[in-house]
Structure 1
């Protein structure tokens, strides 16, 4: 049973089914430092988003406990592969925590080929790339962010440099990193946030207001 709960809960917002949404918002249970690379190709389109997520030691220890089948206090290659597959399966309904806006239109991502898991310095790492599910030419305004709509996982970019631009054509566009002030977001959206949290216990798109993101004007 512990394995089942952990597999469902591994970055999948299990708290939404167990505690009030407002509590999940106030108290994330998983913490990760992230790097996001937004990549353009030679044709002037967004080609992929590359992710690296490094998780806090407490959560990483719980993953080690749940997936260390041979009890050798480490995660062997087959065990890491199982972690990656678990996340690959469980995050599909959450769009892999990826939020893309193309001139105001929300764009989904395609399922990645794989999510690669590693375990270094007592921390779990997940490395993967996603592609926009539809063509995204470098035209107009675009926004890219990573956030958990259930608010169970807090994903942080330690520096603006952790939201990186790859590709000469994309680098030629104006771009900036946006870090919303949580107090200001709450103050400006108090009634809407309250309604959203209590009417949708599985999470709400309103949480994207809190997400660090990188915006482009091409």
Structure 2
């Protein structure tokens, strides 16, 4: 549903406005690595901002008494709301690459929990990976259109590897936006894919310590 909302909104706004996020998500990522040093899956928790949470709860008719507490039935209804619609080409806003730069496909998200905590929707999902080597692999989390802004709060590795995080160049996004707007036609509506410039790069290392 988050993708449906974003896509519908992007149709209505010109290119000069699409470079600014409208939904804000704090994320926590765990990468699962087996004893052979192969990535076998990921676990992601998303915490949505208060305003987007209100929009979703109102749209779905949840928390009618506005006490910030969902019933068991309401939690069940909320589960999978953010992956209910899977548009063609959507990759779940998580990208995995092997050490040689080859993109590694991820399985469809499997939603395992959803609730409202302190006025914010918190949802967790897992994704499978077809046993890709972890050494030197990189991950990035971003919405290509930058309609959704992700802030990586924590990253962990469940297995015999470690993760390091490189923050994005703070000027790269603005430079890319300026160039894209210069090249874009003033007469057409256009989606600018700038999200990658605002994404942390997560790199895995499985080297043994001496």
1:138 aligns with 2:134: yes
1:44 aligns with 2:37: yes
Q: Name whichever structure is richer in strand by fraction.
A: 2
Q: How does 1:35-74 map to 2 (within 5 A)?
A: 35-69=28-62, 71-73=64-66, 74=69
Q: Secondary structure at 1:95's aligned position in 2?
A: coil
Q: In the alignment, is the contact (CA less than 8 A) between 1:110 and 1:130 conserved in 2?
A: yes
1:20: how far off? 2.2
Q: In the alignment, is the contact (CA less than 8 A) between 1:64 and 1:75 conserved in 2?
A: no
1:37: how far off? 1.0
Residue of 76, 81, 94 corresponding to 1:81: 76
Q: In the alignment, is the contact (CA less than 8 A) between 1:48 and 1:129 conserved in 2?
A: yes
1:187 aligns with 2:175: yes
Q: Secondary structure at 2:16's aligned position in 1?
A: helix
Number of residue equivalences: 201
Distance 1:164 1:7, change over 3 A: closer
Any stretches of 5+ residues in structure 2 without a counterpart?
none
Q: How does 1:113-152 map to 2 (within 5 A)?
A: 113-132=110-129, 134-139=130-135, 141-152=136-147
Q: CA RMSD in A?
A: 3.0
TM-score, normalised by the number of residues in structure 2: 0.80
1:49: how far off? 1.2
Q: In the alignment, is the contact (CA less than 8 A) between 2:2 and 2:83 conserved in 1?
A: no
Which residue is 1:20 aligned to? 14
Distance 1:21 1:107, change over 3 A: farther
1:145: how far off? 1.8
Q: What are the superposed Cα offsets for residues 169-202 of structure 1, whole Å, 9 maximum, x if unpaired?
A: x23xxx4201112314433785367658999945
Alignment partners' CA distance in 1, 2:199 and 2:3: 25
1:25: how far off? 1.2
Q: Secondary structure at 1:59's aligned position in 2?
A: helix
Q: Name whichever structure is richer in helix by fraction.
A: 1
Q: Secondary structure at 1:79's aligned position in 2?
A: helix
Distance 1:207 1:69, change over 3 A: closer
Which residue is 1:96 aligned to? 92
Distance 1:114 1:157, change over 3 A: closer
Alignment partners' CA distance in 1, 2:167 and 2:76: 33
Alignment partners' CA distance in 2, 1:113 and 1:89: 11
TM-score, normalised by the number of residues in structure 1: 0.77
Alignment partners' CA distance in 2, 1:96 and 1:6: 11
1:211 aligns with 2:195: no
Residue of 109, 112, 115 corresponding to 2:109: 112
1:54: how far off? 0.9
